[in-house]
Structures are given as structure tokens and as C-alpha cells.
Amino acid sequence: MSRETTPSRTPRRRRGSAGLIAAIAVAAIVVAAVAGVFAFALLRPEPAPVAASPTATVSAPTPTASPTPTATPEAPSTPAPTVPAPPVSPATQICEGAPTTLSIWAHPDDDIIFANPTISSAIAAGECVRTVFVTAGDAGKGGRYVSGRELGILRAYNAMRGADALWDTTDLTLDSGLHARRLTPQGDPRVSVLFLHLPDGNITGAGFDATGHATLSKLYDGVIPSISPFDGGAGVSRDQLVASLRELAGAFAPTHLLTHIPRGSTFAPGDHPDHSVVGALVRDTLGSDPAVGPGIQYFVGYPSADLPRNVDGATLDTKVDTYRIYTQQDEVIRCADRDACLGTRKFGEWLRRSYPKAEADLQMG
């Protein structure tokens, strides 16, 4: 059998006293800590207030906008002057992507007689060609003869273009007030022909009964104040004609300009008076224009027959055929074939030549 020993009560009481003492100590520490926190909170100094920045915003869900500063009144500004755009002529035809050759002649056929192969070469090269005829070339014969010459010119240009086509007609009143009739082949805006329809002055310079003996020479010299189109209409003054030529040059912006030898040149005597006046008008109006003047070529007219022949071979054949096509509508100088055209008095020699002159070559007297 086993024996049990009864434990002593003294150690248990000691352990109870020690726990009580520890609890009291912890409580005292907690109380002291809390008291210290309150004391710091009560005794710490207040922070100095921070001055608000003029651009600072108050912290809030939506920022407060800064105040708008008051603008200082300024002197009213003077608006820059508006430069008006230059007027656009009703005749304007700008050639996109290619040079433009403008040619200005006295009569229908002057171009294909004196300035080919230059014109046909420009068309073949894809350039734009704008041709202006100042007189109707009526020779005192009336509208039927004029219509035939104009039809012949259009067919000659079809031959140079290498395409048959109808031509669209547009009647224009230039800003200068001058009336013009423009024809353009359908489907080919590179080419256009303008007729101003002033009266033919006759090879004598005296004009014709049918048009009251009015001539470009008389207009240029101030003998008459104005000249009316061969088929009637308002008179055209010299200043108005000059303004019209300037307007057409601006409307076409040409790289090259072809026309007659002007009055005063060594190559002018013996030429048709209308030729010389048209050349002089072009030179007077556009010769000093920096955009046009350097590209002007003046072609020798009737006096070219006295110069050496300089057109031959295939070039001559093409030139003569273009001329032949034209003559089928001109009852005065009609020729049936190459030999007949070259055998025509004076015209055959003119066809064998083409003499362009620059300003420096004119030998002005």
C-alpha cells in the first residue's frame, strides 16, 4: 500500500501575493503613461500659422479656382491692313504642270506662217499654247470670210495637236471691257485661241471702206481715239487695248511669248503695218515686265523672204501641211498640196523661213 504526503500551504500564499504585486505595478505604469500623453498634449506649443500662397488651393474634394487677376487696360491695337487679292480675269487659264506659250498676232495665219515650227513644237512637247488674234483679218470682206479663216485656224491647230475635235466657244468680257471670243478643243484645255475681232488695217495701212478705214496704226499713233470691232460694238481705246494685253498675259502666266517684230526695228520695214503695230504694242506693254519680258520672241514677217531659208526637210513638210489645212477655208490663198503651197507667190518663201528675235537682236532705230 502506498503512502500520501499532505502538501504545505505556505508556498501557495506566497505565489498569490507576488501576482497581486505585479498587477499593481503594471497598472501603475499604464496610468503614468496615459498621464504623460495628456500632459504632452496639454503643454506642447501651438504651431505658428502658415501664410496662404496666392495660388494655393484649399484641400477639398473639388479644388477652389484661383482668383482671376484684373487685366490692365491696354491701348487698342491697330489691325494689320488687308491686302486685297488681285482680280481674276475672266480669261484666266492656268496650265498645270507645264509651261505656257502665249502668242499674239495681227491676223489668223500669221502664227502658222511665221512662228512655226516653234508653236507646233510647243504643242508636241505637251506645253499649253494660248494664241490671240488682235484683228479679224477681214480684209474688208465681211463676216463670211472671217468665219472661214477662223475655221481654218482651228483645223490647223487640230493638225498640230494630232487630234480632230469640236471646239467649245466662250464669249468673254475682259476686266478691261474688251470683248473676246475664246475657243478651246473639247477634251484638251492645253490649247485655246482668242479672237479680238478688231478691223484689218490693209497692207497699205489705210484700212477698208467696210470698217470706216479704222486701223491699228491710226489708233497707235493717236489719229483716232478708238477702234470698233469689225462686226460692230463699243470702241476700244489704245489704253484699253494695252490694258487688255496686260490682262491676258496675267491670265495665262506665259513662260514664252511670241509676236511680231515691232516698229522701229531694222527688221520692220516692208512688213504689214498691222504686224508692226501689234509687235510694238506687245513690246511697249510687256517688254519691261520681269515675268514676261525675258521670254518674248519677235518673229520677222514679210521681210523674212530676204533672209536665207532655214526650214527644210520633215520640219518643212509638217509646216506646209498645217498651212495647207488652213488654206482650205481661206478663199484668197487656197493651195491644194505641198508643191502648190510652196509655189504660192511670197507665201512659199515665208513658209521656208522662221526667224525669232530676242530684244537684244531687234536693232531698234
Domain range annotation of the chain: 100-361
Question: What's the pLDDT score for residue 85?
Answer: 58
Pairing of strands 191-198, 356-357: unpaired
DSSP track, 311-346: --HHHHHHHHHHHHHHHTT-SSS--SSHHHHHTSTT
- Residue 242, classed as helix, strand or coil, is helix
β-partners of residue 184 are: 168
Q: Are 258 and 119 in contact (CB under 8 A)?
A: yes
> Which single residue is written with the C-alpha cell 505585479?
22
Question: What's the pLDDT score for residue 62?
Answer: 43
- Per-10-residue mean pLDDT of the chain, 365 residues long, equals 39 41 40 37 37 36 45 54 69 92 98 98 98 98 97 98 96 97 97 98 97 98 97 95 98 97 98 98 97 97 98 98 98 96 98 98 94
β-partners of residue 3 are: none
Q: Are 240 and 177 in contact (CB under 8 A)?
A: yes
CA 93 – CA 52 distance, rounded (Å): 71
What single-letter amino acid sits at 34? Answer: V
Q: Which grid coordinates are listed for 72?
A: 490692365
Question: What's the pLDDT score for residue 276?
Answer: 98
HSE of 362, CA atoms in CB hemisphere, 13 A: 22
| Contact residues for 27 (Cβ-Cβ < 8 A; gap 6+) | none
Chain-centroid distance, C-alpha 206? 41
* Cα maximum dimension of the chain: 179
- Give strand ranges (E) for the chain: 100-105, 128-135, 167-173, 179-185, 191-198, 226-227, 236-237, 256-260, 296-299, 356-357
In angstroms, the Cα distances linking 284 to 9, 255, 293 are 147, 18, 10
Number of H helices, E strands in the chain: 10, 10
pTM for the whole structure: 0.77
Nearest to 139 by CA among 215, 237, 195, 218: 215
Rg (CA), the chain: 49
- Asked: is 100-361 a CATH 1.10.150 domain? The reply is no
